[in-house]
Every structure is written in C-alpha cells, then in structure tokens.
Amino acid sequence: MTTARTLLRAGAVTLPALAALHAAPVISTFGPLRNRLMPRLSGQGRSDHVALTFDDGPDHLSTPHFLRLLEARELRATFFLLGSMAVRSPQLVKAMSAAGHEIAVHGWAHRPLLLRGPRATYDDLARARDTIGGLTGTPPRLFRPPYGVMTTGTYRACRRLGLTPVLWSAWGEDWRARATPDSVHDTVARDLRGGATILLHDSDCTSATGSWRNTLGALPRILDTCRDGGLRVGPLRDHTRTGPAGRGAPAGPFYRP
C-alpha cells in the first residue's frame, strides 16, 4: 500500500493502474482522497440535492421510528440493507419499499470484504441481492460495502451482479458509544454541501447499543440544516436527476470500475 500511496501522490499512475496494484482499499477508505479522485464513488450528485442514506437495517425495533419521521417530513431515503437483517423482518422490508424508499444492498453480513476472497465476496453480495430483490420485487441496483472498504474483488462482483458501488461524502459517526444527537448533527454538517451523500445508521446491530437513538435525535436538525441551505433531500436515485427530486430520467451509475 505504501508504494501505491507514493505513486498516487506523484501522479505517476491512473486509477485503473491503481486497481491493478490493489490500491482500491486505500482510495475508498480515505475519504478526502476518495472525494477528490472518485467523486461518483463518494456519491456526489447535483448541487441542489443531498442524498440521505442509512446502513445496517432493517431493524424492527428502530427502523420504524425513522420511517415515521421521514413520512412526517414527506421525504424518502436510500436504505442499504443487510441480507441477514432483511430475512428477520421481511414485512418491514416490503413496507419500506412500498412507502417509496430506495432499497439497496449492504451485503449479507457485516463482514470486512478485505478479508474475504473473490468467491466468498461474490456469494455474499449475490445472496443479499437476491434476497432483498425477492422481498421488494425490484432488483436492487446500489451496493455499499461494510466499513466502506472496496476491493478489486468487490468491484468485479458488483459488475457481474449489476450493482453500482456508492459510499458517502458526509457521515455522523453515529455508531460510536460517545455519540450524541448534537455530535451526530455537527459531524454531518461539517462536510455537508450540495451534492453530498449522508451516511447514517437506522440500526445498532453493528454499533454501540442504542446508538440509533442519537441518530434519530439528530435527524430533524440535519434535515433542517439542509432545508435552510436550500438543499433538497432525497434518495440516491434522485441524486443525479435534473429538475425537482423524484422526476426525470433514471440516474446513471456513480462509478464504473
């Protein structure tokens, strides 16, 4: 990885060459580098829009609270689901989709793909994609890797499965035990700008116990901050469309490896 970092800083290699050097984990993990070199992978969209995304659900104890808040605001979001959680709450998945939220893939289990081989990675993504698509009736088209670490094997699996990887450009660090509603809002706001993709968590299945309550407490302020900045909030499917959110042609891919 040290060699890849040096070559990248020197401008001596292109992104495809870096992929050949297995440098994808370096780029995808380091946010500022990713945002600059792979803006589409970071989920950067149109300047008047912010994509709201949630990871690690669905959780029958916590996710409904987020759905009710979003419904009260007449907003939709993108939910990156774990297949292992989806099979526990199949009716909740169907309800989320029926309510107009975009349903995407976060893998089957929350395991770092950097430690898995190409076959295991493909099987994990395929199982999650097929399970989630079977519940919603619509094949999911977006994927976010656990911990935000992309590998060359993950890129290949996404290509074969028709999934587009997308990460984030602003997050709340809401999984931490020391997080508070204020800290979640302030951390998001620090990187919030037009075209951003916000990452939050609607479940604590891989986070500090009860951490979702801080996220829920922060969400109204986050939405107000977006509104006060003249930014529309919606799912990733609206993030690259022209005109008002929810209209226009389907969004194109954020990144093609």
Q: pLDDT tens digits, residue range 58-115?
A: 999 999 999 999 999 999 999 999 999 999 999 999 999 999 999 999 999 988 888 8
At residue 43, the pLDDT reads: 86
At residue 149, the pLDDT reads: 87
| Surface-to-core class of residue 207, CB atoms within 10 Å of its CB (0-12 exposed, 13-18 middle, 19+ buried) | buried
At residue 19, the pLDDT reads: 42
Q: CA 235 to CA 31: how far, in whole Å?
A: 21
Count of CB atoms situated within 10 Å of the CB of 24: 25
Q: CA 197 to CA 77: how far, in whole Å?
A: 11
At residue 111, the pLDDT reads: 84
At residue 2, the pLDDT reads: 35
More confident residue, 33 or 203: 203
Amino acid at 82: L
Phi (first) and psi of residue 85, to 5 degrees: -85, -35
Confidence bin at 116 (pLDDT 50/70/90)? confident
* Alpha-carbon dihedral angle through residues 75, 172, 205, 70, given to the nearest 10 degrees: -10
Count of CB atoms situated within 10 Å of the CB of 47: 10
- Burial code (b: 16+ CB inside 10 Å, e: under 16) for 8-22 equals beeeebebeebbeee
Q: Pairing between strand 142-143 and 164-165?
A: parallel
Q: How far is CA 121 from CA 92, 127, 156, 167, 207, in A?
A: 26, 10, 10, 17, 22
Give the pLDDT confidence of 210-232 residue by residue, as tens digits: 999 999 999 999 999 999 999 99
Contact criterion met (CB below 8 Å) for 4 and 33: no
Give the pLDDT confidence of 173-190 residue by residue, as tens digits: 999 999 999 999 999 999
At residue 4, the pLDDT reads: 38
In a 3-state reduction of DSSP, which class is residue 43?
A: coil
All domains in the chain, ordered by first residue: 49-237 (3.20.20.370)
User: What does pTM read for this prediction?
Assistant: 0.82
| Surface-to-core class of residue 173, CB atoms within 10 Å of its CB (0-12 exposed, 13-18 middle, 19+ buried) | middle
Cis omega (within 30 of 0) on the bond before 220?
no
Give the pLDDT confidence of 158-177 residue by residue, as tens digits: 999 999 999 999 999 999 99
Average pLDDT over residues 235-247: 69
How are the residues of the chain apportioned to helix, strand and coil, as percentages rounded to the nearest 5? 45, 10, 40
More confident residue, 143 or 254: 143
